[in-house]
A and B are shown apart, each in its own frame.
Chain A
Amino acid sequence: MSTSGNAVLKLKGIEAGYGRIQALMGIDLEVHEGQIVTLLGANGAGKSTTLKTISGLVRARAGSVEFMGEDITGKNAHQIARSGLVHVPEGRHILRGLSVKENLELGAFTVSDAKLRQTRMQEVFDLFPILGKRQHQDGSLLSGGEQQMLAMGRALMHGPKLLLLDEPSMGLAPKLVLETMRIVKRLNEAGTTILLVEQNARLALRLAHYGYVLESGAIRMKDEAARLQADKSIVQAYLGE
């Protein structure tokens, strides 16, 4: 699977950290067009830091990030977002006091074509009918699952070529976790390439094409998701349970 399609995202020897703490020790990673790639690992392994380094929220100390064939290492977060790489960070960041619709409009801020904005809004409402129904309500008053949909919908408004999802199922009831994963799958089937960080490794491997296992800031293992899933020892050693 890793050889099919063009590499949308390519990380080479990425090192990053906070202050004197080094969180990433040379990450090599590739995401190919049309794939869902999942990044697994225990708490503190560096999954979120990897996403933040890709989207420009954390500066890389060494190595390079290439997106759509262009070197984006060291670029500012807003520049990277404008080039079509959208990060849905942990914690959803729904704007309080603004309606669902206005929250979605933020996603399309850089889209100058009003018609395209309208089309995308309709697409988001088709994908998440509940958002359409609640479009005039305060976004922060939605339930956790609905807020997660809003965060993803907002990212879709931007028209991403690559979507970075950081623990979309966090804090959700088990039923909603499954629902969220189904949505991720549907987004991918609609053509969005996705890099997914997820606590629930079994679930993530079930829908991903390819997986990386991160341990102490380094890639310990990488393979097709089906094979990682099949390997009982891997699941036990690195993914808990």
Chain B
Amino acid sequence: MTSNSNGAVPTHGLGPFLQDARLRWVVAIAILAFLVVAPMIFGSYITVILTNALLYVVLCLGLNIVVGYAGLLDLGYAAFFAVGAYTIGVLTIQFGFNFWVAFPFAVLAAVLAGVIIGGPTLRLRSDYLAIVTLGFGEIVRFSARNLEITGRASGISGIQDPSLFGWQIRTQTDYYYVFVVLAIIAVIASFRLANSRLGRAWLYVRHDEDAAEAMGINRVQVKLAAYVIGAIFGAVGGAFFAANLGAISPESFSFEQSVLVLMAVILGGMGKIPGVILGAFIIILGPELLRDLGEFRLLVFAVGLLLIMLFRPSGIWPGRRGA
């Protein structure tokens, strides 16, 4: 009866292999060691791509809470990403806030955005939910493009690099390490959430919300929590994205962005943290690795994705049946 009693239903493939706790630590430390030394081995070009992949890890883990844990569809996740980035942009440029002063406001704005999108949509079933979240994503982007304060279509530029305890985050390598830390925090938070009481409530609501409600789980509250926490992940990613680039424009937060994040989550395996991380890396690194193919690379990449989904419809990462 412990809160994280899983492994009851038989696993297959890589599952039992990676469930060995000691082995899991070895793998985690190896990955961490690789991430630490990567910028020293590879050039700045690859460091930029890896930074982007780590940003995607944060975004994908955030969307995974909504889609994977709570079982809600969200086609407008880029909106939360935009809310974080624009809050930093507007507050630092238009109001002269320091990045760290603006940061809590970015998180707060994400909470509000999560409630705004979550509140009215929670009674909707998946297909309607998809349409409404898609609309929400577009509303945020169009607002950014048309409001004076967000710099209209040209966006906001000149966002200052933040400093942390006297360390000026400036170079690409600095930002790379910032995103390493963010990704690690996102992974730990995801694990803890999955094994928490709230995590179990998500599991039950995802499987059968009527049964969950009948046993005393407040489904509205539980789903709203998923949107809000997912929004916070997105906004934190967006805030550092804005600081990293120094300039943001509405086109960074297009529908395509939402789809890419969702694709990474589904590709890796919804609800499975290692799978989602893998998905994020594939989505970002895939097109880069295929760069030699020139104009065919997106075609090849798309065919590759289709094949993966054909042969592993519940994602690359092995997992529990139906979970």
Tell whether A106 pairs with B1 under 8 Å between CB atoms, given A96-B322, A99-B9. Answer: no
A101 on the B face (CB < 8 A)? yes
Q: In the complex, which residues of chain A have a beta carbon less than 8 angstroms from the beta carbon of B210? A: 57, 89, 93
Contact A76 B1 (CB under 8 A): no
* In the bound complex, CA of A118 to CA of B5 (Å): 13
Q: Given the known inter-chain contacts A109-B200, A114-B1, please indicate yes or no for A97 contacting B207, CB distance below 8 A.
A: yes
Residue of B nearest to A151 (CB): B211
With most chain A CB atoms within 10 A of its CB, the pick from B204, B214, B321 is B214
Whether A102 sits at the interface, judged by CB under 8 Å, is yes
**CB atoms of B218 and A78 under 8 A apart:** yes
Residue of B nearest to A154 (CB): B215
A30 to chain B, nearest CB (A): 23
Q: Say which residue of B5, B215, B321 sits within 8 Å of A110 (CB atoms).
A: B215
Give the shortest distance, in Å, between A94 (CB) and chain B (any CB): 8
Convert B199-221 into 0s and 1s, putting 1 for each residue whose CB lies closer than 8 angstroms to a CB of A: 01101100110111111111100
- Within 8 Å of chain A (Cβ to Cβ): is B323? yes
Complex CA–CA separation, A96 to B215 (angstroms): 17
Check if A106 sits within 8 Å of B211, measured CB to CB: yes
* A95 lies within 8 A of B207 (CB): yes
B1-A102 in contact (CB<8A): no
Q: When each residue 98-133 of chain A gets 1 if its CB lies under 8 Å from chain B and 0 otherwise, what string results?
A: 110110011111100010011001000000000000
B320 contacts chain A at the CB level, 8 A cutoff:
yes
Query: What residues on A are CB-neighbors of B200 within 8 Å?
Result: 105, 109
Pairwise interchain contact A81-B5, C-beta atoms closer than 8 A: no
**In the complex, what distance in Å separates the CA atom of A105 from the CA atom of B199?**
13
Among B215, B321, B322, B323, the one with the most A-chain Cβ atoms within 10 Å of its Cβ is B215
Task: Give the residue name and chain of the A residue nearest to B321 (CB).
Answer: A97
The listed residue (A81, A95, A135) touching B208 by CB distance below 8 A is A95
Query: Which residue in A77, A96, A105, A117 is a CB contact (below 8 Å) of B207?
Result: A96
Docked pose: A121 CA to B210 CA in angstroms: 22
A interface secondary structure, majority:
mixed
CB contacts under 8 Å to B, within A136-175, are 136-138, 154, 158
B164 close to chain A: CB less than 8 A:
no
Taking CB atoms, residues of chain B closer than 8 Å to A110 are 215-217
Pick the contact of B8: A81, A88, A102, A108 (CB < 8 A). Answer: A102
- A18–chain B nearest beta-carbon distance, Å: 16
Which range holds the interface residue count of chain B? 20 to 34
Q: A55 touching B214 by the CB < 8 A rule?
A: yes
What is the CA–CA distance of A79 and B217 in the complex, to the nearest angstrom? 8
A109 contacts B216, C-beta separation under 8 Å: yes
Q: Is A204 an interface residue (CB 8 A)?
A: no
- Do B8 and A158 have beta carbons less than 8 Å apart? no
Inter-chain contact A102/B5, CB cutoff 8 Å: yes
Q: Is the CB of A78 within 8 A of B211?
A: no
From B5, B201, B207, B208, A109 is in contact (CB under 8 Å) with: B201
**Cβ–Cβ contact A77 & B211, under 8 A:** no
User: Shortest distance in angstroms between B230's beta carbon and chain A's nearest beta carbon?
Assistant: 22
Shortest C-beta distance, A15 to chain B (Å), equals: 23
Q: A109-B201, A109-B204, A118-B1 are in contact. Are A78 and B8 (CB under 8 A)?
A: no
Taking beta carbons and an 8 Å cutoff, which residues of A are in contact with B? 55, 57, 76-79, 81-82, 86-89, 93, 95-99, 101-102, 105-110, 114, 117-118, 121, 135-138, 154, 158
Kindly list 7 other residue pairs between chains A and B, CB separation below 8 angstroms, not including A55-B214, A57-B210, A106-B215: A87-B214, A95-B204, A109-B200, A109-B204, A114-B1, A118-B1, A138-B321
Task: Name 27 interchain pairs, CB-CB below 8 A, sorted by A.
Answer: A77-B213, A78-B217, A78-B219, A81-B216, A82-B216, A89-B214, A93-B208, A93-B210, A96-B207, A96-B322, A97-B9, A98-B203, A99-B9, A102-B5, A106-B211, A106-B212, A107-B215, A108-B1, A109-B217, A114-B1, A117-B1, A135-B8, A136-B9, A138-B9, A138-B321, A138-B322, A154-B215
